[in-house]
């Protein structure tokens, strides 16, 4: 069974220590992750995005290259086999439409991330999982993978239609694939919110579903969700580490990145 751990929302405001603390247990055991990075993050967020300071939620755009500490850290992770993915361009509703601005900024955004990682960027992760048929076709033409989440039953029916439209995509010679995600399990915005133990139990059930069928599983997180809580301390990270320790010992489990998966 192949597992892809995907983490979203690295951007200009991200402090590398939070990614490191969130995945230290993974890195210690040689588990590489796929990190979604937003090149031109809009300063917004409300109360949900705890990674963006309130005094900078202004609607301005912040280039990730100006966060030298983060760029150096991501370069190091890339060198050790983790994958840097494009997580939108602005991380707002502009990423949901195939506009002239989106098309013009797309290649520049890829260049920004490739300057950081030193490697080709091969995977697109749409912010808020906002994806349209036009965006899917655009990403296909760019010869990239795409990974997005099923939000609800109605959305799922639409995805079934779109994926039927791209039925042969996984079998094309370029090897690119659509990777669906069911939910962010270790997070505070679910029906399980503020109950890390229930997140842990739910994650074990999800793992078992894919493990028994020997199917690939994309497990999506937000690094900042591990540290939400009083004074930024949360038991969520403890349950996450416990979960990783359990599943990495299972026979036949292999942790890969999106790009790795296509090379198997």
Structure tokens at 204: 């074990």
Q: Which domain holds residue 168?
A: 2-263
Q: What are 189's two structure tokens?
A: 């915005």
Mean of pLDDT over the chain: 83
pLDDT per position as a tens digit, 151-170? 544 444 455 454 544 433 33
Per-residue pLDDT reduced to its tens digit, 23-72: 999 999 999 999 999 999 887 654 455 566 666 656 688 899 999 999 99
What is the rounded distance in angstroms from the CA atom of residue 92 to the CA atom of residue 127?
7
Question: Is the separation of the CB atoms in 243 and 31 below 8 Å?
Answer: no
Q: Domain tally for the chain? A: 1
The domain that contains 171 carries what CATH number? 3.20.20.370
Instruction: Please enumerate in sequence order all residues whose Cβ is within 8 A of that of 129, keeping only pairs 6 or more positions apart, or say none.
Output: 148, 149, 150, 151, 181
Rounded Cα gap, residues 65 and 12, in angstroms:
7
Given this model, what pLDDT does residue 151 score? 53
């Amino acid at each position: 069974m192949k597992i892809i751990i995907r983490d979203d929302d690295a951007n200009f405001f991200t402090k590398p220590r939070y990614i490191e603390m969130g995945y230290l247990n993974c890195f210690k055991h040689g588990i590489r992750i796929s990190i979604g990075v937003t090149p031109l993050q809009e300063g917004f967020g409300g109360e949900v995005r705890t990674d963006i300071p309130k005094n900078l939620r202004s609607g301005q755009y912040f280039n990730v290259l100006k966060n030298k500490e983060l760029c150096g850290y991501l370069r190091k992770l890339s060198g050790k086999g983790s994958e840097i993915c494009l997580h939108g361009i602005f991380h707002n509703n502009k990423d949901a439409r195939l506009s002239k601005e989106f098309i013009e900024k797309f290649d520049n955004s890829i260049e920004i991330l490739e300057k950081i990682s030193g490697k080709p960027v091969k995977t697109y992760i749409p912010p808020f999982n906002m994806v349209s048929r036009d965006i899917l076709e655009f990403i296909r033409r760019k010869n990239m993978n795409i990974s997005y989440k099923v939000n609800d039953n109605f959305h799922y029916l639409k995805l079934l239609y779109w994926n039927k439209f791209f039925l042969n995509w996984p079998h094309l010679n370029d090897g690119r694939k659509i990777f669906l995600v069911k939910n962010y399990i270790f997070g505070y915005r679910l029906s399980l919110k503020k109950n890390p133990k229930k997140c842990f139990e739910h994650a074990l059930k999800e793992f078992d579903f894919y493990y028994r069928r020997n199917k690939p599983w994309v497990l999506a997180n937000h690094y900042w969700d591990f540290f939400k809580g009083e004074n930024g301390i949360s038991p969520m990270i403890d349950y996450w580490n416990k979960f990783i320790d359990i599943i990495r010992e299972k026979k036949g489990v292999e942790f890969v990145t999106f790009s790795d998966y296509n090379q198997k």
